[in-house]
A and B are shown apart, each in its own frame.
Chain A
Amino acid sequence: MAGGYDRAITVFSPDGHLFQVEYALEAVRKGTTTVGVRGKDSVVLAVEKRATPKLQDPRTIRKILTVDDGVALAFAGLNADARVLVNKVRIECQSYRLNVEDSPTVDYVARFIARTQQKYTHRGGVRPFGISTLIGGYDNNGVPALFQTDPSGTYYAWKAAAIGKNAKSVQDFFEKKYVEDMDDEGTLRLALK
């Protein structure tokens, strides 16, 4: 594309779709199943353990990452994209701490990730991040929170959410089995099932 770096890759289709974003969501749907459940006092993030090749060191596969004290992130989709995005978020959390002298809320972290993911659908010469994330953590007052972001840059708060392969069936399962105000035990069990 001669001189095409100022041309956006994510452009609208005639019927109002952003195809690049939708293809990114497809990439997410092929990723490992990741679930998050929010209970009364706790948040559980769980990731399916994929069969690793014999010679690969399983410890180097990190799918649940710490973003800040009290905020963790699990993702589904392209590993490399996740690494880059998490690095940006970690820097942003430290920058927030430096300027505000307080820890960022989980909502702030989720909003930042969503904003970053959205930027990449708005710029020229870049493609969207091929990951959806589940962000779980505690705010200052001890209230647990669970958020989900996706390649389009939207973010939602959830009580229980699933992304990746079989996300739909897991989500249906959650809708049937989720109980309000669960304790730590119950939250953990539900996630593992």
Chain B
Amino acid sequence: AIGARGCGMLDCLDYSVSRSEREAQAHEALPMELLNPAPLLPNPHERCPGMEQHIRMVHGTTTLAFKYQGGVVVAVDSRASAGAYIASQTVKKVIEINPFLLGTMAGGAADCSFWERYLGMRCRMFELNQKKRISVGAASKILSNITHSYKGYGLSMGTMICGWDETGPQIYYVDSDGDRLHHHLFSVGSGSTFAYGVLDTGYRYDLTKDEALSLAQRSIFAATYRDAYSGGTVRVYHIDEQGWKRISETDSMELYYKFKDEKMQ
């Protein structure tokens, strides 16, 4: 504002010492935006700018899934946080798409649960049209094509589509950027870094079923312990040739005392 005033006629006739000082100050106070040559255009990557001010997303989570010799193990926490507020400790973050496909939820709860239910509908349509069950790859591709077409609109999803199809156990990571990745081990969410620490240390392909389930549980617990945005109950699922089965649902506080006692010994 000061720089924009400019030099009036009378000011130019004022040769006092303080005037030069004033001018020097005026130059210092020139706002950086006027000196910047680039115009203030809207960011082309944001198709819904200013969304964050209107919609409060429910974030914060830890989810993981890995393949081993006996199938796929999926484990999740159950906390939903809106900023520093814990919105819920009992969220179901594993979405049962159909009896042999599971999807995990990380990021925006509404985005994940809506689109994974929609995915369930598309999978059923596939079954009816093709007279065979949909492969995990195809199901994840349907979802990633959707997220890609909504790219830039502010969807927030980091999900793992896990299942057992003709080619065996499969895990695909699909997110709201339109990414789709295939790997034998993933952890997604704010607590994923903590979970990876325990998971990567303990993972082997030839784990037994019990070892795999307890590794998954221990990894999620590690995340709930250190990540403020993860907590609640730890749910563990197992997928084999017959489909998925919910194995356990344990409160994270219970797990804390259990592992503490084990450490004591």
Chain A residues within 8 Å of B, Cβ to Cβ: 99-102, 105, 108
Contact = CB atoms under 8 A, between A and B. Distances in A.
B18 interface: no
A35 B104 CA distance: 52
Interface of B: 130, 135, 137-138, 141-142, 145
A100 B145 contact: no
Overall SS of chain B's interface: helix
Contact of B141 (A101, A105, A108): A101
Contacts, number: 17
A154 to B, nearest CB: 17
B141 to A, nearest CB: 6
A101 B138 contact: yes
B142 A108 contact: no
B90 to A, nearest CB: 36
Nearest to A108: B130
A116 to B, nearest CB: 15
A108 B130 CA distance: 7
B130 A99 contact: no
Nearest to A140: B166
A99 B145 contact: yes
B130 A102 contact: no
Contacts of B142: 99
A99 B145 CA distance: 9
Nearest to A111: B129
B30 to A, nearest CB: 55
Contacts of B141: 99-101
Can you list the 8 inter-chain pairs with the closest CB atoms, starting with the nearest?
A100-B138, A101-B137, A99-B141, A101-B138, A101-B141, A102-B135, A108-B130, A99-B138
Nearest to A141: B166
Given A100-B135, A100-B138, A102-B137, 4 more contacts: A99-B141, A100-B141, A101-B137, A102-B135
* Most chain A beta-carbon contacts within 10 A, residue among B130, B141, B142, B145: B130
17 contacts: A99-B138, A99-B141, A99-B142, A99-B145, A100-B135, A100-B137, A100-B138, A100-B141, A101-B135, A101-B137, A101-B138, A101-B141, A102-B135, A102-B137, A102-B138, A105-B130, A108-B130
Nearest to A102: B135
B128 to A, nearest CB: 13
Nearest to B145: A99
Contacts of B130: 105, 108
A100 B130 CA distance: 12
Contacts of B137: 100-102
Contacts of A108: 130
Nearest to B141: A99
A39 to B, nearest CB: 24
A118 to B, nearest CB: 15
Contacts of A100: 135, 137-138, 141
* Most chain B beta-carbon contacts within 10 A, residue among A101, A105, A108: A101
Contacts of A105: 130
A102 B132 CA distance: 13
Contacts of B138: 99-102
Contacts of A102: 135, 137-138
Contacts of A101: 135, 137-138, 141
